[in-house]
Structure 1
Amino acid sequence: MPDQSRHDAWRAGGSYDLYMGRWSRQLAPAFLDWLNPADQLDWLEIGVGTGALSEAVMARCRPASFTGMDASEAFLELARTNVADQRAAFLLGDARAVPVDSDSVDMIVSGLVLNFVPDREKALAEMKRVARNGGTVGFYVWDYPGRGMEMMRAFWEAAVALDPDARDLAEDRRFPFCNPDGLTALAEGAGLRAVDCVAVEVPTVFTDFEDYWHPFTLGAGPAPGYCMSLDPGSQQQLKERLARDLPRRPDGSIALKARAWAVRGAAG
């Protein structure tokens, strides 16, 4: 079986921010509004990335404390820069072995991360372990199998048309469980109670084709990693096909949308 994750790259925080962070910054506030947490809680975020969700928590939720964890030191460095708040601490760690005491956190959250964890069941079990009795575990992932992430869907459709072997690398093939039934089953399998799952949608509007294309050439993430693995001729073919097929507004902008599934459950 081919290694579907071979083009995943999580080292260049700034590049990933251009690719995905700007959309996550739109999504995070909507997710937190849905969670509707009380003030002065202790928070833990698993997989902070460049700090999009962390920033939103600090700005909107009045936490008593906030700990953010990620497996990439490069991402943590950027998150520390983006979230300059004395209540926030960031540490290096693995979602499958969270370096936090049991029964010590009120709110455990994760954004656009769970599908990339090799053992997501273990990660959710760890999130439940660190939660206090009555605490909340919440996370969100893109709706890959439902074609909810239109910028990625357009990229992979063009890539597969030129290279059929790219089909197995697309997120909808890699993460078929990213739908309400699959995500609810994961949360309930981890022992969470009163599990709820809703769709959260945000616009992804690119000013022009170059605004869409450039992040794919930076290598941060599965699709950009694949793009940068191509020889110059193949990459140019992919660029030209996307430039031909993507819908344009009269002003040259490209208006797409992104849908995520948000999940929450009670611990204890």
Structure 2
Amino acid sequence: MEFDVWEAGPAYERYMGRWSRRVAERFTALAGHAEGMRWLDVGCGTGALTAVVAARCRPRLVLGCDRSAGFVETARATARGPVSFVVADATALPVADGVCDAAVSGLALNFLPEPAAGVAEMARAVRPGGLVAAYVWDYAEGMGLLRHFWDAATTADPAAAELDEGRRFPLCRPDPLHALWSEADLHEVRVTPVVVPMVFADLSDLWSPFLGGQGPAPAYVASLPPSTRDRLRDALDTSVPKQPDGTITLTARAWAVSGTRPR
């Protein structure tokens, strides 16, 4: 069964979009940039990073690319400013060499079959001295929501261990990310943690987005028989920390990596 499902934009927004926007805000603050730049958002999904760039970075234009037509449709519906979107693969970007000032990617790099090919395409798209940057979740340790989820899933269903994103994506750590950028012949490479709070009103607020089927964890939930799904929800309920009023506060860490194309 295919567990990396990317089709329904609204369901993904409920699951991860709200947190992606918070990371995008801090990510763009880290990246040095001038006004009037031409930006390329690779693997733009439902447009979280594109929207933040358009709102905060005063770009000349932003082009978002994603291979999911459903996600691109959602992104277009809420777009504001000098923004456009196209359905395209990250390893075959629809732009000429060196036409962008910055190529960025949010929460997408690790899902590419060949991440190195995606980084090479991003580097090709920017001018000499241009920025190439991305961020990915720290699935193994720092992304509290998914760490609690996969630990609970393995308790309810030991076979889930093979699907754990912390195991699947060893790329999402500082050393592998630094190496990937360096091997693409990018200069001034830096890897920086980006941490945001995740606050849920109650267990339902945390659990219900996993029922939307978009992304590895929700697609796994959709594959379960009702009895196993209930055991997973109960195991998650037991594991997450709760405040006296029922709210659940976690933290989510992403790793941001950046470099520049040689002049």
TM-score calculated relative to the size of structure 1: 0.96
2:55 — aligned with what? 59
Task: State whether residues 50 and 82 of structure 1, in contact with CA within 8 Å, keep that contact through their aligned partners in structure 2.
Answer: no
After TM superposition, list the pairs within 5 Å mapping 1:1-268 onto structure 2: 6-85=2-81, 87-145=82-140, 147-268=141-262
Alpha-carbon distance in structure 2 between the residues aligned to 1:261 and 1:242? 25
> Cα RMSD between the aligned structures?
0.9
Deviations 1:208-258 (A, max 9, x none): 000000001111110000011000111111111111222100110000000
Alpha-carbon distance in structure 2 between the residues aligned to 1:64 and 1:240? 49
Task: State whether residues 248 and 255 of structure 1, in contact with CA within 8 Å, keep that contact through their aligned partners in structure 2.
Answer: yes
Task: State whether residues 199 and 262 of structure 1, in contact with CA within 8 Å, keep that contact through their aligned partners in structure 2.
Answer: yes
Task: State whether residues 21 and 52 of structure 1, in contact with CA within 8 Å, keep that contact through their aligned partners in structure 2.
Answer: yes
SS in 1 for 2:73: helix
Alpha-carbon distance in structure 2 between the residues aligned to 1:84 and 1:41? 16
Question: 1:45 deviation in Å?
Answer: 0.5
Task: State whether residues 103 and 129 of structure 1, in contact with CA within 8 Å, keep that contact through their aligned partners in structure 2.
Answer: yes
Alpha-carbon distance in structure 1 between the residues aligned to 2:171 and 2:51? 28
SS in 1 for 2:65: strand
Alpha-carbon distance in structure 2 between the residues aligned to 1:58 and 1:196? 24
SS in 2 for 1:38: coil
Residues matched between the structures, number = 262
Alpha-carbon distance in structure 1 between the residues aligned to 2:160 and 2:95? 39
Unaligned runs of 5+ in 2: none
SS in 1 for 2:237: helix
Task: State whether residues 155 and 235 of structure 2, in contact with CA within 8 Å, keep that contact through their aligned partners in structure 1.
Answer: no
Deviations 1:117-160 (A, max 9, x none): 00100000000011101100010000112x11110011111110
Alpha-carbon distance in structure 2 between the residues aligned to 1:84 and 1:31? 20
Task: State whether residues 157 and 228 of structure 2, in contact with CA within 8 Å, keep that contact through their aligned partners in structure 1.
Answer: no
SS in 2 for 1:135: strand
Task: State whether residues 54 and 80 of structure 2, in contact with CA within 8 Å, keep that contact through their aligned partners in structure 1.
Answer: no
SS in 2 for 1:198: strand
Question: 1:36 deviation in Å?
Answer: 2.6
Q: Residue type matched to 1:193 in 2? A: H
Task: State whether residues 25 and 52 of structure 1, in contact with CA within 8 Å, keep that contact through their aligned partners in structure 2.
Answer: yes
Alpha-carbon distance in structure 1 between the residues aligned to 2:225 and 2:158? 16
Task: State whether residues 6 and 215 of structure 2, in contact with CA within 8 Å, keep that contact through their aligned partners in structure 1.
Answer: yes
SS in 2 for 1:132: strand
Alpha-carbon distance in structure 2 between the residues aligned to 1:82 and 1:249? 34
Q: Residue type matched to 1:140 in 2? A: Y
Question: 1:190 deviation in Å?
Answer: 1.0
Alpha-carbon distance in structure 2 between the residues aligned to 1:136 and 1:31? 13
Question: 1:191 deviation in Å?
Answer: 1.2
Q: Residue type matched to 2:111 in 1? A: F
Question: 1:163 deviation in Å?
Answer: 1.3
SS in 2 for 1:115: helix
